[in-house]
Structure 1
Amino acid sequence: MFFDNASSKIGILNTSICSMNIGDFIIMDSAYKQISKLFPQSQKVHFPTHERITRVGMKRQKEISANILCGTNCLNSSMLLHRQWNVDLYNAFFMKEVITLGVGWTNYQDKPGSYTSFLLRHILSKTHMHSVRDSYTEKLLKSAGITNIVNTACATMWDLTEDHCAQIVPKKSKDVIFTLTDYRKDYAKDLILIEALKKSYDDVYFWVQGSQDYEYFQSFGCLINGIKVIPANLSDFDYVLENVPSIDYVGTRLHAGIRALQKLRRSIIISVDNRAEEKRKDFNLHVIPRDLCVDEYVSIFNEEHDTNISLPLKSIELWKSQFE
């Protein structure tokens, strides 16, 4: 049972702590906004997900009512070996129950193994509804024996309402800010993308979202001459989105694209993994394939396209209503 008052405490499993991917900060910004609306009076106690909760954290776990795990691709089919969410059976034994908010599955994988299924069944709440970011994650969690699930999309998308999206200009802007992905490198394909961007836009900005994005960007040599580099801070990305008069987002970083939509900028996301592709299928996010030629990119950039996000509003309200 959740109580929202000055003496209540909720654990926030914060995926941005110790993260070198600014996408996690975009997720947490939106997740924390939603949690603060649901529990305005409760104290929020933050715990890391990229490293294990240790002695002091375990002491704090005794004082909270439950944990909310905030987004990102923290689940996978072999959590004994791959710990995007760094939790094991020892941690799970001492932690209060976990309720998920917009969590996702890492890559397309086989069904979860016995260890992962046992761990998730033990640590995830059996009485509360869990929120996942797409139907693929819902399918994999159900195969682990967890059925109290609703597909709500990621919390970063919850404010992309019909009225909000109607304010996003469908025509190509004068300038563009783009991203690359350090752990999904494809030099030949990304070279074509950069060529197409320089051919299509007046000013081209590159935002460094991940820890090795800038080094990868530099590998393109003279092709990047004239491109303006934006540092690896969310505030710097926001500043460009909010202050450059006419700018689009294009790139392989999913949450950079969603952040652009939050800031009322036209966004074209290039699919490099299951996350963007599943959001395209479920919610009509504007996602395009990566294997295009320069002319195909240029043609897409010049097309008008309305932003029509299909939000699962009933599922979002169902997840929220359990805390009323």
Structure 2
Amino acid sequence: MNVGDFIIMDSAYKQICKTFPHTQKVHFPTHERITRVGIKRQRQISLNFLCGTNCLNSSMLFHRQWNIGMLNTLFMKDTVTLGVGWANYQNNPDIYTSLLLRNILSKKHIHSVRDSYTEKLLRSTGVQNILNTGCPTMWDLNNDHCTQIPSRKSKNVIFTLTDYRKDSIKDSIFIRALKKSYEDIYFWIQGANDYAYLQSLGNLIQDIKIIPANLSDFDAALSNTHSVDYAGTRLHAGIRAMQKFKRSIILSVDNRAEEKKKDFNLPVISRDLSLEEYIHIFNGNMTTNISLPLDNIQNWKNQFS
């Protein structure tokens, strides 16, 4: 229901293939309970990798973004995390969550988390073998890559909104600023209800061109649209744009963007800006300079050598 998951998995799979070039990879969906077939496959594999940004939270008995329970720990091989994150700012994990994660996460391997906030909360469960590597979507955004991302505004822009973080007043100001700053404006549908939300904004959306809710369409728009920036509330759409060497301005709507900005200098701005402030940012020069934890990334990879 959220095409951003494909952006995450594309990058995670790429990194896993680099680390394990000669092994077969089997996919288990994190949003569904492990099935009888899944249990059979667990007996055949060597190790699980948990990939995703919001897989963990402080009450995993009731909120199952990663849909597992204590019973699953009896049938699953050890799990190693890759760029996982904590969903929203929350209280410390409860006892059930702490026990579950200590049981299912490998004690022999180093776990990769997406930011310092996740590292802090995961350590509070008793899991200590952790490195903050950032999300694997960012791992190739090194200095050589970032220097190829334009600093000046392009003629056109692709933007996104978030169906579960609606604010018609703030988002209307944002769109008005885009219209005053760019020639052609495209909207990419990343989430299931993003388009319905856009339509609810009325006459403001006239002349906006729609990009279908497929990653291939978004990639094509980034690659084939002449002189285009990205701006919007969808974090991984912004990271995908940077992967494609496009200037990206991400509007913060949750802890993921805020923590990535703190840790890695991701180009994130407030969603509470005025029309004039948005226009000033869009029309100004902006250098992309991602600060990657290269040693932590390499140490996580080296454990499998």
Q: Check if 1:146 corresponds to 2:130.
A: no
Distance 2:137 2:294 in 1: 14
Matched to 2:122, the amino acid is L
**1:46 aligned counterpart, secondary structure:** coil
Match of 2:278 in 1: 297
Matched to 2:237, the amino acid is A
1:128 to 93, 104, 109: 109
Distance 1:272 1:37 in 2: 32
After the TM superposition, which residues 36-51 of structure 1 pair with which residues of structure 2 at under 5 Å, given as runs? 36-51=17-32
Q: Check if 1:235 corresponds to 2:213.
A: no
After the TM superposition, which residues 36-115 of structure 1 pair with which residues of structure 2 at under 5 Å, given as runs? 36-115=17-96
1:190 to 156, 171, 183: 171
Match of 1:309 in 2: 290
Report runs of 4+ in structure 1 exceeding 2 Å deviation: none
Distance 1:206 1:124 in 2: 39
After the TM superposition, which residues 147-166 of structure 1 pair with which residues of structure 2 at under 5 Å, given as runs? 147-166=128-147
Match of 1:207 in 2: 188
After the TM superposition, which residues 198-277 of structure 1 pair with which residues of structure 2 at under 5 Å, given as runs? 198-277=179-258
Distance 2:35 2:272 in 1: 45
Q: Where does the alignment leave 5 or more consecutive residues of structure 1 unmatched?
A: 1-19
Deviation of 1:194 (Å): 0.7
Deviation of 1:305 (Å): 1.0
Deviation of 1:256 (Å): 0.2
Are the counterparts in 2 of residues 52 and 87 from structure 1 also a CA contact under 8 Å?
yes
Root-mean-square deviation over aligned CA pairs? 0.5
Q: Where does the alignment leave 5 or more consecutive residues of structure 2 unmatched?
A: none
Distance 1:222 1:93 in 2: 55
Q: Deviations over 1:119-177 (max 9, x none)?
A: 00000000100000000000000011111000000000000010000001100000000
Match of 1:16 in 2: none
**1:150 aligned counterpart, secondary structure:** strand
**1:217 aligned counterpart, secondary structure:** helix
**2:26 aligned counterpart, secondary structure:** strand
| Identity among equivalent pairs (%) | 71
Are the counterparts in 2 of residues 280 and 286 from structure 1 also a CA contact under 8 Å?
yes
Are the counterparts in 2 of residues 21 and 211 from structure 1 also a CA contact under 8 Å?
yes
Are the counterparts in 2 of residues 71 and 155 from structure 1 also a CA contact under 8 Å?
no
Distance 1:75 1:39 in 2: 25
Instruction: Provide TM-score, normalisation by structure 2.
Output: 0.99
Match of 2:5 in 1: 24
Are the counterparts in 2 of residues 77 and 113 from structure 1 also a CA contact under 8 Å?
yes
Matched to 1:57, the amino acid is G
Q: Deviations over 1:256-312 (max 9, x none)?
A: 000000000000000000000000000000100011111110000011011000000
Q: Check if 1:172 corresponds to 2:172.
A: no
Distance 1:175 1:93 in 2: 53
Distance 1:83 1:143 in 2: 19
2:266 to 285, 288, 291: 285
Distance 2:65 2:73 in 1: 15
Q: Comparing 90-99 with 275-284, which one deviates more in the overlay?
A: 90-99
**1:45 aligned counterpart, secondary structure:** coil
Deviation of 1:92 (Å): 1.7
Matched to 1:114, the amino acid is I
**1:177 aligned counterpart, secondary structure:** strand
Match of 2:304 in 1: 323
Matched to 1:92, the amino acid is T
Deviation of 1:71 (Å): 2.1
**2:159 aligned counterpart, secondary structure:** strand
Distance 1:174 1:74 in 2: 37
Match of 1:12 in 2: none
